[in-house]
Structure 1
Amino acid sequence: MESPVTVTGWFPGNIHDKVTVYADIQHSWVGDLKLDLISPNGTVYPLRAADAKDSGDVIYETYPVDASSSPANGTWKLRVEDVTAGDIGYVDGWWLKF
């Protein structure tokens, strides 16, 4: 699934520093989840790889991202991929901090 957020009115051009991404995700086995941030220009920034050893059921994590090759303005997406079948979950929320 992809969850979009649109940024408008920010400074023109590319981001000058790191972006912080926070994710709040509930899932029956978070080790199945792969997370990516997708910038407005389509650049994919990997946040979290799936890890079968991670048996938790909640993600409350922040991720620093060097997004200096991406514009701030536009639609950003958090992509969450369940690499296996049979589990359920949802994104409770996420945010970007420039």
Structure 2
Amino acid sequence: MSEYLPFGGFKWIEDVTKFGITSKSTNPSEDYIDIMSIPNGAKEGYFFQVDLEYPRELHDKHRDFLFVAEHLIPPGSKLPKLLPTLFNKSKYIIHYRNLKQALSN
């Protein structure tokens, strides 16, 4: 499996309100971008800074295969490691494809 690597054209998007997840009860505007509808092979990709809340009812279902990881120092260690956890995340940076995977499960 191979993917293209980003090499330029990076920019901050000022109006983050145009991104979200569309539900059946919402009626988004024309320039609204549903994160779940961005194709995996899109020419332009996105990284998002999000606050994630891991609902308690998903803990048993996702216990063996977690979707988001963070750098933490595990008990008995002195060095940080990348650990998948069920903790809520604040200001978490995530690629749009990983975010789509986490939200769809």
**TM-score over 0.5 for the pair:** no
TM-score (ref. length: structure 2): 0.27
Which is helix-richer, 1 or 2? 2
**Structure label with greater radius of gyration:** 2
TM-score by length of 1: 0.29
* Larger RCO (CA under 8 A, 6+ residues apart): 1
